[in-house]
Amino acid sequence: MTANFATVVLDVDSTLSGIEGIDWLAERRGPDVAAKIAKLTDEAMRGVIPLEDVYGARLEAIRPSLADIEALGLAYVNKKASGSEAALRRLREAGVDIVLISGGIHQAILLLANLFHIEPGDVNAVRLRFTSDGSYLGFDASSPLTTSIGKRTLIERLNLAGPVLAVGDGATDVAMREVVDQFAAYVGFVRRETVVAQADVVIESFADLAQRVLGS
């Protein structure tokens, strides 16, 4: 079988898994912090404010511990998109490369990637730093994924086999459209009209994704 795309680039939060990782962490800090962080995340994903204006501030308000991040990894797995395992298995069997590019937390996303048999080297996300007792120390501020156009920047650095299909739900995902062959807005968890309006195609499920990539 010849696939329509050689590489599929997937967002994680609200795409491969039905949670926003930073928002999930904020909920562990109580309703006031949760409401504040959810508002900032929503505005960043709709493109109302640049991600770089809120990335560090959100983490500083939460200060997640290593134990929090390990719990987040389990939450990602528990909320994986319906049909995603079967769809990604079909893509792998057809020789399609699967790459994760996320503004989420690298250490948490690795657990989800392992479920899908995605190599650690194909997981691109933001690494956090912790003290020896697991307390929050900071994040990799040099990562382009903490910025609004970071996913586009990263794709330009990666040697991806083409044609490339990028899939995501937020404004930071739309930025990839300029450097891939096709951008698909994933609406299986949340539908952002500003993202849909700029997409080449809308995908409602992972079964739809497999159909678009494999054509059958």
Span 78-123, pLDDT tens digits? 999 999 999 999 999 999 999 999 999 999 999 999 999 999 999 9
What is the Cα–Cα distance from 212 to 200, expressed in whole angstroms?
A: 12
Q: What pLDDT is stored for residue 216 in this prediction?
A: 65
Pairing of strands 136-139, 128-130: antiparallel
What is the Cα–Cα distance from 211 to 216, expressed in whole angstroms?
A: 5
150-201: per-residue pLDDT in tens?
999 999 999 999 899 999 998 889 999 999 999 999 999 999 999 999 999 9
State mean pLDDT over 125-147: 94
Q: From residue 13, give the alpha-carbon distance in Å to each of 79, 104, 170.
A: 10, 7, 9
What is the Cα–Cα distance from 21 to 29, expressed in whole angstroms?
A: 13
Complete DSSP assignment for 13-47: BTTTBSS-HHHHHHHTT-HHHHHHHHHHHHHHHTT
139-156: per-residue pLDDT in tens?
999 999 988 889 999 999
Q: What is the set of active-site residues?
A: 11, 13
Q: Go through the domains of the chain in sequence order and give each one's CATH number.
A: 7-214 (3.40.50.1000)
User: Does 75 score more than 80 pLDDT?
Assistant: yes
Stated pTM of the model: 0.91
What is the Cα–Cα distance from 126 to 16, expressed in whole angstroms?
A: 17
pLDDT band at 47 (very low <50, low <70, confident <90, very high): confident
